[in-house]
Amino acid sequence: MKKAAALLLALVLVLALAACGAKVDPNTLPGKTEGQVYTNDILKLKCTIPVGWVIADQDQLDDYNDLTEAEKASTDYGAKLKAHDDTLADLFVYTPAGNFFTVSIVGGATVNNSMSAQKLIENLKEDDLKALSDSGLTDVQGDAAAYTFMGEQTYGLKAQAKDEDGQEVQFAEIYVKGSGEYGAFVNVYGSDEAAVSEILSCFSKYEPAAK
């Protein structure tokens, strides 16, 4: 499971897209989790997590992101993001069935919010599939595919492979446009398509309260 979890981070580390857009305060990028609900104002995203699914706490997220002790104590989110290839997991959840997913904030050179979802995924496909193969998975296959996500039609990466035990696993990667030079990737690891669909159905659009 730990090895498979690392795949999700690897997928979002292979991106190389041009940045664009207005400036955003990086310290506003992280979302917040209250009970079983995660929300993110910049992404306008909400994830309602079923009871029984386990949400990584901040210490576990920091370890997953491989933060140093100094970085853990720092309140400069932008500096931490830059120090980790412009990618930091902001949510990590795993299910009793052994499936899991992340929401990873990405920025800087990893974002192009002006590009269509289909074009973006097509550009990422070869690098992402190579990352899966390099991780030790076999029979890796995948392509851009249509998804219904947060109530809208979009495109993402749909891939399948076999793990070290020869069991088939499914992956999904969907880019969520944010603001300015920031966005996020939702990466899902599931035992089958039904498991992936169940996880994706937890997400919905979110309108932050006016300040």
At 4, the amino acid letter reads A
Q: What per-residue confidence (pLDDT) applies to 94? A: 95
Query: Would 189 be classed as within a structural domain?
Result: yes
User: How far apart, in whole angstroms, are the C-alpha atoms of residue 138 and residue 141?
Assistant: 9
Query: Would 86 be classed as within a structural domain?
Result: yes
Mean pLDDT (10-residue bins), the chain, 211 residues: 55 44 79 96 95 96 96 95 93 96 83 73 86 91 92 90 93 88 92 95 90 62
Number of structural domains the chain divides into: 1
Paired with 205 in beta bridges are: 45
In terms of residue numbers, what domain contains 74?
A: 2-205
Q: What per-residue confidence (pLDDT) applies to 113? A: 67
Q: What per-residue confidence (pLDDT) applies to 15? A: 43
Predicted TM-score (pTM) of the model is 0.85
Q: What per-residue confidence (pLDDT) applies to 3? A: 55
Query: Would 81 be classed as within a structural domain?
Result: yes
User: How far apart, in whole angstroms, are the C-alpha atoms of residue 97 and residue 191?
Assistant: 8
Query: Which stretch of DSSP H or E encloses residue 170?
Result: strand 168-177
Q: What per-residue confidence (pLDDT) applies to 10? A: 56
Query: Would 210 be classed as within a structural domain?
Result: no
* CATH number of the domain to which 60 belongs: 3.40.1000.10
CA distances from 123 to 45, 70, 95, 111 (A): 24, 35, 30, 12
Query: Would 149 be classed as within a structural domain?
Result: yes
Query: Would 168 be classed as within a structural domain?
Result: yes
